[in-house]
Amino acid sequence: MAKEKIDALVEGGKASAAPPLGPALGPLKVNIGEVVAEINKKTSAFKGMKVPVTVIVDTETKKFDIEIGTPPMSQLIKKELNLKSASGIPNKDKVANMSIEQAIKVAKMKQDSLLVNNLKSAVKTVVGSANAGGILVEGKIAVEINPEIDAGKYDKEIEAGTTEHSEEKTAILKEQLETVRKKFAGELEKIATAKKAKAEKDAQKVAKAEKAVEAPAATK
């Protein structure tokens, strides 16, 4: 059976029969409306993001399959949390606190491309990625929350596929983050002071070396 592949970049949940999809699919005599609807269904979680898609069409039967590409998980997490960058010192400098619902949302976006058997495992993968970027989940680091996930503490949210949390929880997440930040504030201050001292020392070395080079030239 002959198959044709069409690659395109579409906005999540907003694909249409307009270019680039329509003109590329037209000659294959496939039902463009069905293709677009399926793409929008599979990319609905990526609203506001550009998503790579591949449409594979059987030229004889006109049946089709759609493969959805996704951005790296770290980018999805940062977008979900409105973060510009992850932490440079992830074990001490915590930059955000993610709810289990937000972790589920990212997990659902990436589940098809992960080597996992279920959503719970995908959520744990998200937790690991968040942890590497200095991001807490439910106020906890990965080694604290993953056992809770395994024990079923968040089964209700995971089984329901819940992706939104309440305003009250937003306030709680903020408080949890501030508590952890205060815990490491002293250590981070020491790190910043040491970094500044090293930068000043390096600058002095450079200045001294430049003077050493300039001195012989001035005597000529």
Q: What's the pLDDT tens digit per position in 92-111? A: 999 999 999 999 999 998 88
166 HSE (CA, 13 A, CB side): 4
pLDDT of residue 51: 85
pLDDT of residue 187: 84
Structure tokens at 208: 């001294």
Closest CA to 111 of 56, 163, 68, 47: 68
Q: Are residues 25 and 82 in the same domain?
A: no
Is 15 in a helix, a strand, or coil?
A: coil
Closest CA to 175 of 142, 149, 136: 136
Is 218 contained in some domain? no
pLDDT band, very low/low/confident/very high, at 219 (cuts 50, 70, 90): low
- CATH number, domain of 133, equals 1.10.10.250
How large a percentage of the chain has pLDDT more than 70?
97
Is 206 contained in some domain? no
Q: Are residues 106 and 152 in the same domain?
A: yes
Q: Are residues 84 and 7 in the same domain?
A: no
Q: Are residues 87 and 39 in the same domain?
A: no
pLDDT above 90: residue 169: yes
Domain boundary residue, one of 68, 86, 102:
68
Q: Are residues 64 and 93 in the same domain?
A: no
d(CA 161, CA 120): 10
pLDDT of residue 201: 83
- CATH number, domain of 58, equals 3.30.1550.10
pTM: 0.68
Q: Are residues 9 and 38 in the same domain?
A: yes
User: What is the total count of domains within the chain?
Assistant: 2
pLDDT of residue 174: 97
Q: 125, 114 in Cβ contact below 8 A? A: yes
d(CA 126, CA 95): 16
Residue 147 preceded by cis peptide, ω within 30: no
Q: Are residues 92 and 30 in the same domain?
A: no
Q: 39, 50 in Cβ contact below 8 A? A: no
Q: Are residues 57 and 122 in the same domain?
A: no
Residue range 51-64: average pLDDT?
91
Q: Are residues 59 and 88 in the same domain?
A: no
Is 219 contained in some domain? no
Residues spanned by the domain of 82? 73-191
Q: Are residues 50 and 146 in the same domain?
A: no
